[in-house]
Amino acid sequence: MYSIGDLSKKTGVKIPTIRYYEQMGLIAAPDRTEGNQRRYERRELERLSFIRHARDLGLSIEAIRDLVELSQHPEKPCTGADAIATTHLASVRAKIAQLKKLEHELERIVSHCAGHTVGDCYVIRALSDHGLCEGSMDEV
């Protein structure tokens, strides 16, 4: 049995976040001692580690909830889990593409700046006049 503090230390998840996951139904509400302290079992430690890793990979709470549900049925095919991971991968790739566009535009703006005075600064002018941008950054 683990206290909430032990669970936090072992998983790196902060105590308020553990309580939040409990409220969200991602981990089971633990048994309590006579002193009303939460006592978690090994399966909650494993579940919390799973959630932490999924969050580190950027998965949403909804996706994690679906994966937790799927994990409770080990006999079923893993197509649902694959679909969640594939959808998330597509989202990550789209964000990377947006960040690359942003990086290119910032490099372009910085390269035009001659480093004179703020009054002549291309960075300031480009940020003030969207027309000086190479492309629409609204897509970023």
Domains and CATH numbers, the chain: 4-76 (1.10.1660.10)
- pLDDT the model gives residue 28: 86
pLDDT digits (tens, 9 = 90+) for 96-134: 999 999 899 888 888 887 767 777 777 887 788 777 777
More confident position, 30 or 138? 30
pLDDT digits (tens, 9 = 90+) for 59-100: 999 999 999 999 999 999 999 999 999 999 999 999 999 999
- Concatenate the DSSP letters of all residues of 33-79 into one string: -TT--EEB-HHHHHHHHHHHHHHHTT--HHHHHHHHHHHT-TTS-TH
* Residues forming a β-bridge with 39: 31
Give dist(CA 10, CA 8) in Å, integer: 6
Give dist(CA 90, CA 118) in Å, integer: 41
pTM given for the model: 0.76
- pLDDT the model gives residue 140: 46
Residue in the block written with tokens 């009054």: 119
